[in-house]
A and B are shown apart, each in its own frame.
Chain A
Amino acid sequence: MHKYIIKRTLLMIPTLFGAAVLVFVLLRLIPGDTCELRLAGSGAYFDESALKICREQAGLNEPMAVQFARWMWGVVRFDFGYSMWTGRPVTEEIALRFQLSLQVAIMATITATILAIPLGAISAVKQNTWVDYVTRGFSIAGLAMPAFWLGILIILGLLISTQRFLGEPWMPPLEYIPLWEDPGRNLIQLIWPALATGYRFSAVATRMTRSALLEVLREDYVRTARAKGLIEKLIMRRHALKNALLPVATVIGLEFAFLIGGLVVTEQVFNLNGVGKLFVEAVGNHDYTLTQALVMLVALVFILTNFVIDILYAWLDPRIRYR
């Protein structure tokens, strides 16, 4: 197992390097640069000399190979440089937002898990009954509805209903307060995006739980357990559900990793100052250094999540052994 962990850790290096090369090249294929946007984007008069200076300061006039070498040299020293747009250190920009995105991801994952596993299990056990149909309808609706759209509906619903019943329209706070500073205000802001994304997330996991459990329930060892006279609850908990959770854990893990940088539109809808919103702004501003660092961060989160899932497999299924 130890050998496996070391091997997997070392494998992260070429994967991350591949991601680095890819994002570096792809970003520069998009026409335009951050200086042009910054000065010409407002439609106001600007002096062409300012554009030249801006490009020099951002290092954009250097050959691509030099830019890449400089960036990679920084990356190996954990120095991701400065945002080309704001001039602030990239790590500072990301650290500010990471906390919020992580909290939303955790809350959405908890929401999804709480909804998905019981609903998926009930749906499988009560297959082809009205309970199953309702649950499947609920999860299909979640798959069909984008999280950001649900978010818009939630905000509009809150605005309209509060105006009608309380006289003054209300919507979740626009500004983030850390959990330890004001838990009430923090939760009242983040519960809504967590519900919006958690619902879509739960829909995927519910369907996965249902199909995995249906498969397991047809296995010989479940039939044997029943033949032995074990009670249904025990069969479900000890034999069926635990084995059915393997693919569910993969789905939950990958979805969690996606939420860290993937809540692009939902974060905008709720004005959450998270990694997703930062991503959109960085790409929109042609902020190469920041976008590159964000891609590396998301890649790292995915790699680590996959790694944790693999370890979790071994715990969930003792037959799995890594060498």
Chain B
Amino acid sequence: MRHASMRTALALGLAAALALAGFATTAAAAPKKGGILKYIIPAEPPSYDGHRETTFGLVHPIAPFYSLLIRVNPDNPASPTDFVCDVCAEMPKPTDGGKKYAFKIRKDVKFWDGQPLTAKDVAATWSKIVFPPKGVASARKGQFHMVSKISAPDDETAVFELKFPSGAFLPALAAPYNFLYSAKKLAQDMHWYEKNILGSGPFKFKQHQAGAFIEGERNPDYFFKGAPYLDGFHGIFSSKLAVRVNAIRSGQAYIEFRGFPPSHRDDLKKALGDKLTVQESDWNCSLMIAPNHLKKPFDDPRVRRALTLAVDRWGGSQYLSKTAIVKTVGGVVFPGHPLAAKKAELDKIAGYWPDIEKSRAEAKRLLKEAGVKEGFEFTLHNRGVDQPYKIVGTWLIDQWRQVGFKVKQWVQPTGPFYKVLRSRSPQYDVSMDFNCQAVVNPLADVFKFLSTDRSGSNHANYTDRKVDELFDKMNRTGDIEEQQKFMREFERRILDEQAHYFITLWWYRIIPHRSSVKGWKISPSHYLNQDLSNIWLEE
């Protein structure tokens, strides 16, 4: 009896303590209003028009000024499949066999100039993105090849009609560049938004000093009541990594949203201790190798397979992740997405076998069969950027050496690198390439691997109609199981059977920030969750 009372008392005490602790945690976690977020931005926006640009240098400073139709859930940005409404009232259920999406638009959304944002603005914006008029650049227009019509039958409804049901449609809609513009401004001048900013997002534009900084202030009419928490933000531009690290160390900036290499995370942690919080995530960028099919002997699938079989990804992940911004082993789909290959499936693909010795023995056998002699020399074309290109390039050279290749690295600055890579010519043997997308949208992201006459970013220069066919099949079914089945076939074809392309490692995102920055959650892309509406400062 006595023991029972003791147990009850202890349990009650523990419950009370937990409740108190919980209360304390809740109280500490309650967002505070006020303050200016100072953050550092590694690149400057070339223009202010999100529809036209592809760089994160546009998203980090400009996204806080705009709303989107739908977006990645800011409270769950790590999930690659969680999309929520921004200016729409609720996520629509597709009708007409998955071919029609009618979005109800909130009535309380206003541009800063006081004009209401209606479905007409949504339709005008999306028409500019999907069906740009002559002379208007839309960088992601091709991702909406399934869209046949966009209309606004009334002020509260925006309707998207598709040619066929597509699993790639909703994720593409949620891309952070798809800022909603004013129909009136677009009607006056389709290029107006290239040099001007007028949005309905959490912050209003204050000033931008080219090369120096950009400032925004709280939008008091922001439609999510209570948000944003900050009074404003001040983004400082600096392309030099050391400056960005030191800015956080000295408190001149609280955060940088792109990502730092592991060594800088460790330096900052050592210098700042508890004043620093680190958030880490797999990154929706993959570093890949494009063997040039226009160059012998890389037109031979056996040689290409040998190249990928030589690479020990599982081992490389362990030690490269200590120095470079790469870590995760994965196939063509972002690891963690429902369409991604599971470990057991990956283990069967060339280059992912758990036994690297067996893998390299097979590589040597294939090379012998293809008539490629021991000591065969070729050049790895690489981009002149340390993280992670040159580091991974150097590692690859050693991996290939172990099956008898003698490889030299041809490192070029970004401009000439792209010129050669996109040349569709036998100017290089094997090149480093990368794929870095915003919203995780595997059905669209693998577009790169299509035949050259369909994909401008296929830099391995091949035509493979089976690959194209599988892509079309998986993009024209709404059934997730079918998508998975076609994706596995597609992946096997690209990475193993034909070894057209191969993935080295996926990037790994590390964000060390001042502990006073609260509310921001890391996502798998440096393009996502950047409207700053959920960030608040503890001091």
Contacts and interface: CB of A to CB of B under 8 A. Distances in A.
B422 A40 contact: yes
Interface string B140-173: 1111000000000000000000000000000000
A40 B209 contact: no
B250 A47 contact: no
A53 B136 contact: yes
B238 A30 contact: no
Query: Which among A45, A175, A284 has the highest number of chain B CB atoms within 10 Å?
Result: A45
Interface stretch (A7-15, A86-94, A230-238, A252-260): A86-94
Contacts of B53: 38
A54 interface: yes
B240 interface: yes
A30 B393 CA distance: 23
A270 B252 CA distance: 13
Contacts of B240: 268-269, 271
B46 A32 contact: no
A281 interface: yes
Interface in A35-49: 36-49
Contacts of A37: 414-415, 418
B141 A50 contact: yes
A159 B249 contact: yes
A318 interface: no
Interface in B262-320: 271, 285
Contacts of A163: 271
Contact of A31 (B52, B138, B242, B416): B416
A284 B413 contact: yes
Contacts, number: 156
B447 interface: yes
A199 B457 CA distance: 49
A49 to B, nearest CB: 7
B375 interface: no
Interface stretch (B321-329, B351-359, B431-439, B515-523): B431-439
B263 to A, nearest CB: 15
Contacts of B436: 42-44
A85 B139 contact: no
Interface string A87-110: 110001100110000000000000
Contacts of B253: 174
B93 to A, nearest CB: 28
A277 B211 contact: yes
B448 interface: yes
B465 interface: no
Contacts of A173: 252
A269 B52 CA distance: 31
Nearest to B285: A43
Nearest to B56: A42
A268 B209 CA distance: 17
B124 interface: no
A177 to B, nearest CB: 10
B195 interface: yes
Contacts of A155: 246
Contacts of A47: 138-142
A96 B210 contact: yes
Given A38-B55, A96-B209, A32 B419 contact: yes
A152 B242 CA distance: 9
B305 to A, nearest CB: 25
B420 interface: yes
Interface in A122-163: 152, 155, 159, 163
Interface string A278-298: 100100101000000000000
The 7 closest A-B pairs by CB, nearest first: A32-B415, A43-B436, A31-B419, A32-B419, A50-B137, A31-B416, A53-B137
25 contacts: A31-B416, A31-B420, A39-B54, A40-B422, A41-B414, A41-B418, A42-B56, A45-B444, A47-B138, A48-B142, A56-B135, A86-B210, A87-B46, A88-B210, A93-B210, A155-B246, A159-B271, A163-B271, A171-B249, A173-B252, A174-B238, A176-B212, A269-B240, A269-B242, A277-B211
Interface of B: 44, 46-47, 52-56, 135-143, 194-195, 209-213, 236, 238-240, 242-243, 246-247, 249-253, 271, 285, 413-420, 422, 434-438, 444-445, 447-448, 456-457, 527
